[in-house]
Chain A
């Protein structure tokens, strides 16, 4: 199911971090964040339980010539 992000959530989330944004910007932010969260979701769903960020470095070394 596609994630929905409401602009007012963005405003609140930024406010908790001490950053003020306005409604128009929050609307744009919400649309972008929903787009990238939904875009990445299929790949995240296939991630193995054990996968961790350091796996990248290991793969980089393994695949070097």
Chain B
């Protein structure tokens, strides 16, 4: 199989081709490394490539396969991840100047699980500084660029994950989502990404931003790939006390279940406020697809969301400020202006206000489940309400205009984090300007499988996810 043909495969397809010995691990790795090196100058998606180590690992994986040893469901699949997942002794920059030289203290559980499943990591990807930015800007490593139009933002904070997967330079990537950081790059770059239920995936060995809201999840070309990666990385972990102890459902098996009869809710409030008409039209068309698949689509009334977003902002800012307090005191000049400003805001949040925000989460989840998930299985909504801006338009520093722009960017994703529910983002179409438009599917806590099932059925009925950006 040619390198070009290999790079057209999804992670699931590549894993199968490797198991069936139609593609060698080395050929897959060489193709991914070559593509990554080719696209990086245009996209600035990479922080480090470990090509020698990765090729040596691919040779070993081929040897294992030759003697009949399949390590796991991702045997030989090359991946590069957001540079915030630690490998003991190796530098994880977290997109920052501050951690540019610090060897990581431990190895992330999610990397251990991907390693055990046979995946081979070949590099680490650009990201927002300390994952604290939703646009893809990074003032230390350079701004990440959208493969569909390099003058436009990728979304963040998992910026390199989104654009490298869309560019077919990476078969799948870990991202993280505290306020939208998986779903936003999935939307802007036209790939799939799932923010799992809070606590479903271990955060051990992952850079903390906001320990009450941080989630770890995959970005990939297909929902099926997301399901497989989530299958591999999810599950209890004694190293993360917030990790849920329940067993992991068979997400892959559940993908095959029909969506006929699923109840999908279209929010009457909040999510369509000031929504760009082209984005609203894409959402409407995607709901029609679900109807054709046999799902029931109904309008649903939501509780009042805006106060939850304000409370969620308090949680992120206060917890991030707590994590960064020492460096804010000793190395403030080593932060970008924007991240430093946001962290300072967290230091000024009163303890009682922060605790009220945490107290509100349970009440909010109860209200949302009683009012919404009693009527529907999934909430369908846009990921953002505006067309993809340019990098220059959103390079606003730390002043009031930046605050407004950042709040607007995460306005539709933060509710999912505050509630801690699973939320899948996948491409639902394109604007006339040729930029992808994503939808998000939110499910009740620990019902990640239903969101994945619906997204997989959508991709089976449409071809948006098969569109490839121009070389």
Contacts and interface: CB of A to CB of B under 8 A. Distances in A.
> Do the two shown chains form a genuine complex with each other?
yes
B358 A39 contact: no
B445 interface: yes
Given A60-B445, A65-B447, A25 B365 contact: no
A36 B358 CA distance: 14
A17 B330 CA distance: 12
Interface string A26-65: 0011011101111111111011100111111111111111
Nearest to A17: B347
Interface stretch (B47-55, B82-90, B260-268, B309-317): B309-317
B408 to A, nearest CB: 13
B453 to A, nearest CB: 12
B325 A17 contact: yes
B329 A60 contact: no
A23 interface: no
A36 B356 CA distance: 12
Q: Which of A20, A21, A41 has the most CB of B within 10 A?
A: A21
Contact of A33 (B328, B348, B369): B348
Given A17-B329, A59-B365, A40 B444 contact: no
Interface string B346-372: 011100010111111111111001000
Contacts of B347: 13-14, 17, 19
**Main SS class of interface, B:** helix
Given A40-B310, A53-B358, A59-B366, A65 B444 contact: yes
Interface size class of A (residues with CB under 8 A): 35 or more
A14 B321 CA distance: 11
Contact of B344 (A25, A40, A44): A25
Contacts of A35: 310
Interface string B24-62: 000000000000000000000000000000000000000
A29 B307 CA distance: 19
Contacts of B447: 64-65
A29 to B, nearest CB: 5
B111 to A, nearest CB: 26
Interface in B186-228: 197-199
B310 A39 contact: yes
A63 B444 contact: yes
A63 B365 CA distance: 9
Contact of B359 (A13, A38, A51): A51
Q: Which of A32, A43, A57 has the most CB of B within 10 A?
A: A43
B353 A40 contact: yes
Contacts of A32: 345, 403
Given A40-B311, A43-B311, A14 B344 contact: yes
A38 B328 CA distance: 27
B363 A47 contact: yes
Contacts of A64: 246, 444-447
6 contacts: A14-B347, A28-B403, A29-B348, A44-B307, A46-B363, A60-B365
- The 4 A-B pairs with the shortest beta carbon distances in the complex, nearest first, are A55-B362, A39-B310, A43-B307, A64-B446
Interface of A: 10, 13-14, 17-21, 24-25, 28-29, 31-33, 35-44, 46-48, 51-65
